[in-house]
Amino acid sequence: MAKTTGVIFAHLNGKALRLKDGTARLTMGGYMREPVRSGFQILYREEYTPGEFEATLIHGADTSIEDYRDIVGGELRAETDTGKVFLIKNASTRSIGPLAAGEGDLEISVFGDPAVEE
């Protein structure tokens, strides 16, 4: 098992995503705190933010862009090569594309409930 995360494997609604190496990014979400100055005190305000996953897919003949585009209320499971597993429930596609010729790159962005570590 690797000591640092080098690879993220992901499944969206149980279907494995073919990810281009080194492109997957997971943002946990939850409460984001912003400092607020009040005289000589530093306070903060909180904003609840979604869990997010972004990556570059490898598009092939068996890849349905519409299937990914139409996901609402799904589940994204991301597993690292270090054995950590993260789950984003109520996952919906924010954007899909553009599809780039050459290597078949297809960008995907998904958001949902804040990610939880299983």
Q: What is the pTM of this model?
A: 0.88
Would residue 37 count as lying in a domain?
yes
Would residue 3 count as lying in a domain?
no
Q: Tell me phi and psi for residue 66, to 5 degrees.
A: -60, -40
Would residue 1 count as lying in a domain?
no
The tally of domains found in the chain comes to 1
Would you call 72 helix, strand, or coil by DSSP?
A: coil
**How far apart, in whole angstroms, are the C-alpha atoms of residue 75 and residue 100?**
26
Q: How confident is the model at residue 75, as a pLDDT?
A: 97
Q: How confident is the model at residue 2, as a pLDDT?
A: 54
**85-103 per-position pLDDT tens digit:** 999 999 999 999 999 988 8
**How far apart, in whole angstroms, are the C-alpha atoms of residue 38 and residue 84?**
40
| Residue 80 domain boundaries | 8-117
CATH number at residue 63: 2.40.30.200
The residues near 52 (Cβ < 8 Å, ≥ 6 apart) are 25, 26, 27, 29, 88, 94, 109, 110, 111
